Amino acid sequence: MKATELHARPSVDFEAKLAHTESLLRQAASNYAPVLPAGPALVSLACSLGAEDMVLAHLINRLQLDIGIFVLETGRLHAETLDLLKQLKATSRAPVEVFHPQTEAVVQFVQREGQDAMYRSSELRKACCQIRKMEPLERALADKKAWITGLRREQSGARAEVPFEDRSDVRRVKLNPLADWTWGDVWHYIGHHGVAYNPLHDQFYPSIGCEPCTRAISLGEDFRAGRWWWEEEGNKECGLHVKNDTSKQGEPA
């Protein structure tokens, strides 16, 4: 069964939520417009190519907003995700930038710890995420004053208080325009607008990351149960959404 048929259940106030999301995106494009007319916008969507981020990429393109899109291509993504990336690059009006890890750092880590070191300890898993995700993320955000994510409160207990606008990092604002959307809202939008999505979502992968660190979930399992499933619940963030204010260092967002 297709994920759209399985999940598309809009909230009663879906239209109001959508209007609010569109307004937040328009405001972001205006607040963080390029300094020079032909220059890059100072705000970008961090696109994981998951369902939420495909909705946001679609909205940015549909509303013709001056907001960039970037993808962290870790070198360990599923073939299906790479195909979707190709499709997004070919069809997006907004520029799509792809950031890869530093080759030397990957080669040294794999030579030292092996290709699947992430299963051996939480430290090695985080070291892999640091090289393949966090360092490229810093490069992607270097010239940005704001970034947009597809975080939703419903995704996990650790994300239950995700704000629409997060100013806890003094370096830049994080905007979460889908914070109050449900999974049903996301799939309603995808179905209604014919948004391209990762076919792994049709195979019970609600949250898709790197291939070695993602599995399908079973009925009744938590939304993020398929991510780093061998680790304890509190550890299930790669660092991308860890708060940066010193009082909450290490706390998953």
Residues that bind ligand SF4 (CB under 6 A): 74, 76, 118, 125, 128-129, 132-133, 209-210, 212-213, 238
Q: For residues 27 and 44, what is the distance between their CA atoms, to the nearest angstrom?
A: 13
Residue 13, CB-side half-sphere exposure with 13 Å CA sphere: 6
> In the numeric block, which tokens belong to residue 151?
């975080």
Q: In what order do the strands lie in the sheet with 173-175?
A: 96-99, 68-72, 43-46, 146-148, 173-175, 165-166
For residue 201, give the amino acid letter: H
Q: What are phi and psi of 30, to 5 degrees?
A: -75, -45
238 is known as an active-site residue: yes
Query: Are the C-beta atoms of residues 29 and 131 closer than 8 Å to each other?
Result: no
Q: For residues 150 and 55, what is the distance between their CA atoms, to the nearest angstrom?
A: 9
According to DSSP, residue 245 is labeled S
Query: Are the C-beta atoms of residues 99 and 136 closer than 8 Å to each other?
Result: yes
CA 147 vs CA 36, 60, 63, 126, 131: distances in Å = 19, 13, 17, 22, 20
> In the numeric block, which tokens belong to residue 218?
């079973």
Active site residues: 238
